[in-house]
Amino acid sequence: MSAAGEPSAASTAPEPALAPATPGPPLLRVEDLCVQFPTERGLVHAVDGVSFSLERGRTLGIVGESGSGKTACSLTLIGLTRHMGARVSGRVLLDGRELLGLSERDMRRVRGAEIAMIFQDPLSSMHPLFTVGRQIVEALRAHRDIGRRAARERAVELLELVGIAQARRRVDAYPHELSGGMRQRAMIAMALSNDPKLLIADEPTSALDVTVQAQILDLLARLQRELSMAIVLVTHDLGVVAEMADHVAVFYAGRIVERAPAQELFSHPEHPYTWGLLQSIPTLFGPRERELRPIAGSPPSLIERPSGCHFHPRCPYAQPRHAEVDPWLEPLPGDRDHQVACLLAPQLRRQLSSQPAGGRAAAGAIVSGAGREAGA
Amino acid sequence: MTRYIVRRVLWGLLLLVLVGALTFVLFHVFPTANPARLRAGRNPSPRVVAEISRNLGLNRPLPTQFWLYMRGLFLHFNLGYSYYSEASVRSLIFDRLAATASLTIGAAVIWLGCGLSVGIISALRRRSRLDRASMGAALVLISAPEYWLGLIAIYLFAADIGQVKVLPGAGSYVPLTTDPWKWFTSLLLPWLVLAASFAAVYARLMRASLIETMGEDYIRTARAKGLPERRVVLRHGVRAAINPIITIFALDVGTLLGGAILIETVFDIPGVGRLAYEAITHADFPIVEGTVLLVALVVIVANILVDIAYAFVDPRVRYS
C-alpha cells in the first residue's frame, strides 16, 4: 500500500480548477446497475443498485475492499461480465448511448475503442507468447483499417508516449523481458491505442513497487490531461485515490455507501466504513504513536448479505434497528454532492467524526460491546 | 542454444548406447531359447548345434560378444543377421520402414487433427450436448484396446468380410509409390483405429488445457481490446493452450510405435511392427533387437526435436 497517500496532506493541496460544467449529458452515466452471478452456492449479488456519473476528462475513484463489487462493476462497464454468465440490469450510458442493450457485436466496437481498460497485474494480463508490439498492433487493427506497417509505427509512437525508452527496440520485446513498470506502461499504451474517451484502470498500481506506482500514476495524470479522457480508477488504496480522483465512490458489499468530491471525502468522511478505511492506512507524517485500526470483521458474503445496512455487523455504532432498515444513499443536508448511506443521525455522525480517532473507537466499543474478531 | 542442442544430442547418443547394452543383456545373456538349437532343425545332434553356435559366435565369452555387437552397431550400423533367413536385419527393417512410416505419420495427423479440434470445440461449448457426447465417445475410445477396435472395424467395414463393404480390409496394403489412391484407401481403417485412442486422449487434454487458458488474465485483456471472440479463442487461447500438448506428443511417439505393432498385425500390413511381431514369435533375436533400437532412436530424436521446438513456440523458454 502506498505511503504517499496521506489524506490530510491531500486535503490541503490546492484543488485543481474545476472545468466549467460541460453542456449535455455526462460522458458516463450509470443508473441502478445490478450485476449478479449465478453460482452453485447461490446467487452472488456483486453489484447492487449502483448509480454514478462521470464528466469528460475527470477521474472517479472507486474504493473498496476486495469482494466489494468494484471489479465486477468496472468489468460490466466494458461489457466483459457477459462472458462470465452474469445477470446485468440497470443502465450504462456512454455519451447518452445505452451500452447494456447492445449486441455483442456492437459492444465489441465500443470495447477497446471508446472504453479501454488496464488491469492489476500487467504480467498475467499480457499474452506471454506475443511481443508487446504485436499486442498493440492487434488492438489497433481490431478497430481501424490500418496496414501492418503503419500499425507498427503507431505502436512505437504509443510506447514513446507512455515513456518507454528505446521504444523501437522494445516494441519487439516479450512481456517477460520488461520490468513491471515497463509492462504496465505497455499495457497503458495498448489501452490508449484507439484514443478511448474512458479508461478503466482496475488496481493499476497494486502489483507494482511503490516507487514505480508513483510513476505510473503521474503517467496516467499526464495522459489524462493531454488526451482529455475520463478515468474510472478502481482501487483499494486510498493514497492512490487521494492523488488522482476528482470524485470518490466508496463501495461496500456491492453498493455505494458514500460518494463525494475527493477533498470533501477525505476532510469530512461521513460513513463509519469510510472512517475505518481512513484509519487503516499508515501515514508518514503523523505521530508514530497513532495506531493503525483495522476494520473489525471481514467483508460479508455477497451470496447471503447481512440484513438491513450491510455494514452493521462490523459497524461499531450499529444499533438493533440497523439490522432491519436498509439505508439509502442520500445527500447530506446542504451538500448535494456528498451522499452517504448511513442510518446514524447526521448530528451523531458529526459528533463522532469530530472526535479523534482513538476516542471514536473507544466510543464505538462502548456502544457495541467488545468481542469482535479483528479482521485482516 | 547451440550448446544446448549439442548437449542434448550427446545425451541422446549415450541413451542409445545404454539401450543397445540393455537389449544385448536381454537377448544374449538371458536368452529364453538357444538360438543355435532353434536353427538346427528337428532332433539335431549336439555336434550340429555346436557348429552353429560357433558360426553365430555364441561360444565366445560374453564380453567379447558384447564388444563385437556394440562395435558393429555403432561403427557399421550393423544390426546383425536374422537367425532364420540370414538376411541383414538392417535391410529387413529398411524394406518395411515405408509401410510403418505411412501408418504412423498418417495416424498422427488424424490423431492431432481430430483430437485437437474436438477438444477445442468441446471447450468452447462446455457442458453442451456436443461436449458431453464427444467426451463420452472419447472415454469409450480410450478404454477400447486397439486390436479389438481393429477387429471390430474389419468386421464392420472391410470389403471382403465386412457387414458394410466400404473399405479394403486386412492385407490390402499397397505402397504409396505403386498406387497412391489404393495406398490411401487401404490405410484409412488402420489410421482411424490407431489414431482413435490417441485422438480421444488429446481431445480431453486439449479441452482441459483450453478451458484453463480461457480463464487467464490475458484472455480478458484480449476481449477488452474488442477482438472478436473467434480471434480471442483461436489466436490467444489455443496458441497458449497447445504448448503443453506439444510436450506430451513427444512422449507418445513411443506408444504410437507400440500401437503400430498391433495394428500392422491385425491389418496384415508388412511394416516394422509386423516384422517385430513375427521375430518375437520365432525367437529371432537380432530382428527384435533391431526394432527395439529403432523405436528407441525415434523416441529419443522426437524428444530432442520437441525440446528444441519448445524454445521457438514459447519465448519464455531459454536454454543455456
In order, the DSSP letters of B112-174 are HHHHHHHHHHHHHTTTSHHHHHHHHHHHHHHHS-HHHHHHHHHHHHBTTT-SS--B--TT---
Percent above pLDDT 90 for chain A? 53
Better pLDDT: A115 or B140: A115
Confidence (pLDDT) at A74: 93
CB contact under 8 A, A109 and B226: yes
A134 vs A148: CA distance, rounded Å? 10
CB contact under 8 A, A117 and B224: yes
Question: Would you place residue A359 in the very low, low, confident or very high pLDDT band (cuts 50, 70, 90)?
Answer: very low
* Range B237-265 average pLDDT: 88
In this predicted structure, the answer to whether residue A299 has a pLDDT above a threshold of 70 is yes
Which strands, in side-by-side order, build the sheet including A330-332? A115-118, A198-202, A230-235, A59-63, A247-252, A255-261, A335-340, A330-332
Chain A residues with beta carbon closer than 8 angstroms to that of B225 = 111-112, 138-139, 142, 190
- Paired sense of beta strands A59-63 and A115-118, if any: unpaired
In this predicted structure, the answer to whether residue B307 has a pLDDT above a threshold of 90 is no
Chain A residues with beta carbon closer than 8 angstroms to that of B227 = 108, 112, 138, 142
Confidence (pLDDT) at B48: 84
A3 vs B302: CA distance, rounded Å? 55
In this predicted structure, the answer to whether residue A4 has a pLDDT above a threshold of 50 is no
Alpha-carbon gap: A192 to the closest alpha carbon of chain B (Å): 10
Confidence (pLDDT) at A290: 60
Please tell me which of A145-149, A210-214, B68-72 the model is most confident about, judged by mean pLDDT: A145-149
In this predicted structure, the answer to whether residue B271 has a pLDDT above a threshold of 70 is yes
Nearest to B93 by CA among B82, B83, B104, B84: B82
- List the single best residue of B124, B212, B213, B225 to mutate versus A (max A Cβ within 10 A): B225
In this predicted structure, the answer to whether residue A364 has a pLDDT above a threshold of 50 is no
* Coil, strand or helix at A299: coil
Residues 6+ positions from A22 with CB-CB distance below 8 Å: A55, A56
A263 vs B188: CA distance, rounded Å? 76
B20 vs B10: CA distance, rounded Å? 15
A36 vs A49: CA distance, rounded Å? 11
- List residues of chain A with CB under 8 Å from any CB of chain B: 78, 80, 83, 104, 108-113, 116-117, 119, 121, 124-129, 138-139, 142-143, 174, 176, 187, 190
Confidence (pLDDT) at B55: 80
CB contact under 8 A, A112 and B229: no
Chain B residue with minimal CA distance to A192?
B225
A117 vs B51: CA distance, rounded Å? 85
Q: For A198-213, what is each residue's pLDDT tens digit?
A: 999 999 988 888 888 8
Confidence (pLDDT) at B235: 92
Nearest to B302 by CA among B8, B7, B6: B8
Task: Please give the full DSSP string across A54-122, using - where no structure is assigned.
Answer: E-TT-EEEEE--TTSSHHHHHHHHTT-GGGGT-EEEEEEEETTEE-TTS-HHHHHHHBTTTEEEE-S-H
Encoded amino acid at A338, one letter: H
Sign of the torsion formed by the C-alpha atoms of A350, A326, A75 and A199: negative
In this predicted structure, the answer to whether residue A68 has a pLDDT above a threshold of 80 is yes
Please tell me which of the candidates B220, B225, B316 has its beta carbon nearest to residue A128: B316
Confidence (pLDDT) at A283: 63
Confidence (pLDDT) at B30: 74
Please tell me which of A257-266, B64-73, B132-141 the model is most confident about, judged by mean pLDDT: A257-266
Chain A residue with minimal CA distance to B221?
A125
Confidence (pLDDT) at A374: 37
* Percent of chain A as helix, strand, coil, to the nearest 5: 40, 20, 40
* Range A116-120 average pLDDT: 93
Chain B residues with beta carbon closer than 8 angstroms to that of A125 = 217-218, 220-221
Q: For A93-107, what is each residue's pLDDT tens digit?
A: 999 899 998 999 999
CB contact under 8 A, A138 and B239: no
CB contact under 8 A, B227 and A112: yes
Question: Would you place residue A319 in the very low, low, confident or very high pLDDT band (cuts 50, 70, 90)?
Answer: confident
Confidence (pLDDT) at A20: 47
Question: Would you place residue A336 in the very low, low, confident or very high pLDDT band (cuts 50, 70, 90)?
Answer: confident
In this predicted structure, the answer to whether residue A66 has a pLDDT above a threshold of 90 is no
Burial A186-205 (b: 16+ CB within 10 A, else e): bbbbbbbbbebbbbbbbbbb
Give me the residue label for grid cell 460490466.
Answer: A76
In this predicted structure, the answer to whether residue A288 has a pLDDT above a threshold of 80 is no
**How far from A46 is each of A24, A198, A272, B117, CA to CA, in Å?**
31, 22, 21, 36
In this predicted structure, the answer to whether residue A170 has a pLDDT above a threshold of 60 is yes
Question: Would you place residue A294 in the very low, low, confident or very high pLDDT band (cuts 50, 70, 90)?
Answer: confident
Give me the residue label for grid cell 467488545.
Answer: A370
* Range A138-150 average pLDDT: 94
Chain B residues with beta carbon closer than 8 angstroms to that of A109 = 226
Q: What are phi and psi of B220, to 5 degrees?
A: -60, -40
Confidence (pLDDT) at B92: 92
Chain A residue with minimal CA distance to B239?
A129
Helix (H) or strand (E) holding A193, with range, is none
* Range B203-228 average pLDDT: 94
Helix (H) or strand (E) holding B260, with range, is helix B243-266
Confidence (pLDDT) at A365: 44
In this predicted structure, the answer to whether residue B220 has a pLDDT above a threshold of 80 is yes
* Range A112-139 average pLDDT: 94
Which range among A142-146, A175-179, B85-89 shows the weakest confidence by mean pLDDT? B85-89
> Mean pLDDT, chain A, as a whole number?
84
Confidence (pLDDT) at A98: 93
Chain A residues with beta carbon closer than 8 angstroms to that of B243 = 129
Helix (H) or strand (E) holding A255, with range, is strand A255-261
Which range among A238-242, A356-360, B82-86, B93-97 shows the weakest confidence by mean pLDDT? A356-360
Confidence (pLDDT) at A31: 94
Encoded amino acid at B218, one letter: Y
- Paired sense of beta strands A247-252 and A59-63, if any: parallel
Encoded amino acid at A138, one letter: E
- Nine-digit cell string for B270: 508388412
Alpha-carbon gap: B319 to the closest alpha carbon of chain A (Å): 15
Q: For A72-94, what is each residue's pLDDT tens digit?
A: 999 999 999 887 889 999 999 99
In this predicted structure, the answer to whether residue A304 has a pLDDT above a threshold of 50 is yes
> Mean pLDDT, chain B, as a whole number?
86
Alpha-carbon gap: B239 to the closest alpha carbon of chain A (Å): 8
Q: For A341-350, what is each residue's pLDDT tens digit?
A: 999 888 888 8
CB contact under 8 A, B220 and A80: yes
Encoded amino acid at A121, one letter: D
Confidence (pLDDT) at B258: 87
A19 vs A8: CA distance, rounded Å? 24
CA A228 to chain CA centroid, nearest Å: 19
Question: Would you place residue A285 in the very low, low, confident or very high pLDDT band (cuts 50, 70, 90)?
Answer: low
Nearest to A30 by CA among A135, A142, A115: A115
